[in-house]
Amino acid sequence: MVMNHSMKVGFSFGLTSGIITTLGLMVGLSSGTHSKLVVIGGILTIAIADSFSDAMGIHVSEEFENIHTTKEIWEATIATFSSKFVFALTFIIPVLLFKELSTAVLVSVIYGLSLLSVLSFIMAKQHKTKPWRPVVEHLSIAVVVIVITHYVGCWISTTFC
């Protein structure tokens, strides 16, 4: 399937946001609570609330540019919601499959960073640039989010529990 510009914008935004937001939430909640139930609840919340929020953000952003048709705006909106919703939900699978939450989170981090690498690689190839720069840049940002949310989760656990 060939995607037009609006679909690419929505899909790439939704996928990237779905990966980074969900991983940050999972790592933070896991570090702070060590509860599978809390992590699953967080993923479901991200999949629903943040998918709608990001889709609305893309919708308004595309409208604000005033260069897109109504059809293009809705394509980007729906692609954003769909990709973020679906990819965020996929992070529930390791939590359900693995007995240890720490293993599920590690598998999720590897899965998420792999998806982000593939997306970055494809994007670089489409732009005819060397893929290492966007791959390293995007993975670095994701790792920073993961590390910070881990320490925030630990801090919350020790401060408030």
Tally Cβ neighbours within 10 Å of residue 127: 10
Give CA–CA dist 83/15, Å, rounded.
6
Is residue 26 included in any domain, yes or no? yes
Is residue 104 included in any domain, yes or no? yes
Q: What average pLDDT does this structure show over 5-26?
A: 94
Is residue 38 included in any domain, yes or no? yes
Give CA–CA dist 131/117, Å, rounded.
9
3-state secondary structure 36-47: HHHHHHHHHHHH
Domain assignment of residue 12, given as a range = 5-156
Looking at the structure of the chain, the number of domains it has is: 1
Is residue 161 included in any domain, yes or no? no
SS3 60: helix
Give CA–CA dist 116/142, Å, rounded.
9
Structure tokens at 112: 């998420």
CB 81 within 8 A of CB 54: yes
Tokens 């479901």 sit on residue? 44
- Is residue 93 packed enough to be buried (19+ CB in 10 Å), middle (13-18) or exposed (0-12)? middle
Is residue 54 included in any domain, yes or no? yes
34-76 pLDDT, tens digit per residue, is: 999 999 999 999 999 999 999 999 999 999 998 989 999 999 9
> Which pLDDT score, from 0 to 100, does residue 2 have?
67
Please tell me the pTM assigned to this model. Answer: 0.92
Is residue 81 included in any domain, yes or no? yes
